[in-house]
Structure 1
Amino acid sequence: MQQQHTSLGEQIGNLPDESRRKRRVRFHQGWWRAFVLAETAGPHPLRPGDTVCSMLNNGESSEKNFFGPGTIEAVRETLDEHKNQAGGMIDERRLFNNMLSSQPLLFNFFGPLRKNLPLATHLVQALIPSIDEVTAIRFEYAPEQWIDNSAFDVKLEVTAQGQRGLIGLESKFTEPFSPTIYDTAQYEEIATRCGAFNVPYQAFMTPALNQLFRNQLIAEHEIEQKNVDFRMTGLFCEPGDASAIATGQAFGALLKDGASSFHIITFARFIEALQMLPLTWPQREWSMMLWARYCGQALSAGAYAAGQAG
């Protein structure tokens, strides 16, 4: 019997026509799915009948979108918490199956830290030296009865010099900042009262700044409600995303204390700081998996070059 051979491109799967950077990142996720996870390409989320290389099949049961010690436990605990939480949105199908979504990415980076707060403390201290301790990590966090569905992608509850604080991060992988502009009287009232900004409220009513602005307002609300004594915010993003980094830098400059309170942390910076710590072997393996899946495009470079040549 003649053996049928599947081409490299067929194994990796369909690639949409999109920006060069996003296409390259998506290809790497497709390569990971095919050759690390040994899974076939899953259904396109918007086009019935089509598949796309960066989607899994039945990730809810395989849980293959996640790795790292304690990560899947953090996922399950967060889903249980959100059953009774109005704010924050978790699309479970996207969470378990979309390899290009920033939500599973956040669980892979921060899930093991949620289960090991001493390690989280050492890592955050390496990134933000003023922090004394990380006391909790929560995903898709919004205050009770918040204005809309905005939420911190990840919230670190921290202490510094005897005070309670938070670090609220917005995460980006390949997706742009939301083009939807939220302009409400409640937002303007919080922005005016808090006095945190160098520019008027209307300056933030642009697609580039509005999402980070709403993230900031959640932090300012937590200060107003005396839930914390200080707040920090920031952007957690792919190191090659020059546009997101520039947006984060522009937003931080509009905060009166942005130089000390707004932090841009790239995946590479996180991994570098993590790998400098005295890790157990499972933790070090997790750090290497983070690099390989989210930064190590050199691993799939040959396959990508072959696909482009074809």
Structure 2
Amino acid sequence: MDISAPLPPAAANPEPLVVAARGVLDTSGLGPIDRVPLIPEAARRRHHVFVPADRRFKAAARFLQALWREDRGLAMGTHVSRRELHRPRRLGSRISTAAGALGANFLHPDIVPVVTRALAYREPGAAYDIDRLKTNLLSSQPLAFNLFGPLAHDLQFATRFVTEFLPGTLTEVTDVLFEHSPGRGDPRFTADRTAYDVVLRGRDATGARGLICIEVKYSEPGHEPAPPPHPRHTHRSRTPPQACSWTSTPRH
């Protein structure tokens, strides 16, 4: 699939586009499936992706990534457990360091310079794990770039994406930022080191500046206990926009 191809023209009746999308994404014709397949242990071992702790979704996702890597002839990478630092393990859902250095963990060549720039100009305190980003096929860090890197490469494309998929928000995208915090530790914000995986920054129909903040997850189970509410977060969530000195102002 050519992810650099422009979006089709907007249509009053989206049904033909839905049918066309299903033809591309569902070649089996089985229709929506409400669960991922249960991959047999033997198959997971054969493709070097058997991890006993994996839940059903993560096991299926890891297996799929191994097939993707094999289809492209990419060398298998290794994983080092914190409990066995001296015993690296070959893992089918990772690519080699050499392949990662060439940008093989990203779906289109145009995404690679976006990643390079994001790393070179990363914000102080930005939490990047370079090894996971470049070699771990199952990590949400490269997923963020694979999903939104094409938008960062082409801001007109980003603007159209937002106006079609998030109508009523921004009418112009001026920046696509990764691992971004409006102000790490700044008391006007959350006063901590919270950051967003992706931020679409731009202006709305009135000319006021705005942000769309996105957290990207892939294989994380989502069952971890939530941390206790931070008093600063509670205070900020209840502060009226007009009381915030950092609220966006219209463009003149």
TM over 0.5, shorter chain? yes
Residue 49 (structure 2) aligns with:
14
The one of 167, 170, 175 equivalent to 1:136 is 175
Residue 88 (structure 2) aligns with:
49
CA distance 1:225–1:33, shift in 2 (3 Å): farther
Q: Is the 8 A contact 1:12 1:34 kept in 2?
A: no
Matches of 2:70 and 2:43, distance apart in 1: 10
- Higher helix content, 1 or 2: 1
Indicate whether 1:77 and 2:122 are aligned: no
Q: Is the 8 A contact 1:165 1:229 kept in 2?
A: no
Could you say what secondary structure the match of 2:214 adopts?
strand
Indicate whether 1:116 and 2:136 are aligned: no
Q: Is the 8 A contact 1:89 1:140 kept in 2?
A: yes
Indicate whether 1:95 and 2:133 are aligned: yes
Flag structure 1 segments of 5+ consecutive residues without an equivalent. 1-6, 195-219, 231-310
Amino acid at match of 1:52: L
* Total equivalences in the alignment: 194
Residue 181 (structure 1) aligns with:
227
CA deviation after TM superposition for structure 1 residue 229, in Å? 5.3
Matches of 1:143 and 1:33, distance apart in 2: 36
CA deviation after TM superposition for structure 1 residue 25, in Å? 0.8
CA deviation after TM superposition for structure 1 residue 10, in Å? 6.7
Identity %: 30
How much is the aligned-residue C-alpha RMSD, in angstroms?
A: 2.6
Residue 254 (structure 1) aligns with:
none
Matches of 1:182 and 1:140, distance apart in 2: 23
CA deviation after TM superposition for structure 1 residue 148, in Å? 3.2
Could you say what secondary structure the match of 2:105 adopts?
coil
The one of 156, 159, 162 equivalent to 2:200 is 156
Amino acid at match of 1:49: P
Could you say what secondary structure the match of 1:55 adopts?
strand
Q: Is the 8 A contact 2:76 2:90 kept in 1?
A: yes
Matches of 2:161 and 2:237, distance apart in 1: 31
CA distance 1:229–1:176, shift in 2 (3 Å): farther
Residue 306 (structure 1) aligns with:
none
Higher relative contact order (CA 8 A, sep 6+): 1
Residues 95-152 of structure 1: CA distance to partner in whole angstroms, max 9, x if unpaired? 0011111110111121121111111111111101223111110001012333333211
Matches of 2:112 and 2:143, distance apart in 1: 12
Flag structure 2 segments of 5+ consecutive residues without an equivalent. 1-41, 186-190
Within 5 A, what are the aligned runs for 1:220-299? 224-226=244-246, 228=248
Between stretches 179-188 and 50-59, larger displacement belongs to 179-188
Could you say what secondary structure the match of 2:75 adopts?
coil
CA distance 1:50–1:73, shift in 2 (3 Å): same
Amino acid at match of 2:196: F
Matches of 1:225 and 1:72, distance apart in 2: 37
Matches of 2:239 and 2:208, distance apart in 1: 22
Residue 68 (structure 1) aligns with:
108
CA distance 1:192–1:122, shift in 2 (3 Å): closer
Could you say what secondary structure the match of 2:141 adopts?
helix
Q: Is the 8 A contact 1:159 1:165 kept in 2?
A: yes
CA deviation after TM superposition for structure 1 residue 68, in Å? 1.9
Indicate whether 1:172 and 2:217 are aligned: yes
CA distance 1:45–1:227, shift in 2 (3 Å): farther
Matches of 1:69 and 1:145, distance apart in 2: 31
Within 5 A, what are the aligned runs for 1:3-42? 12-17=47-52, 18-36=54-72, 38-42=73-77
Could you say what secondary structure the match of 1:120 adopts?
helix
CA distance 1:155–1:32, shift in 2 (3 Å): same
CA distance 1:180–1:89, shift in 2 (3 Å): farther
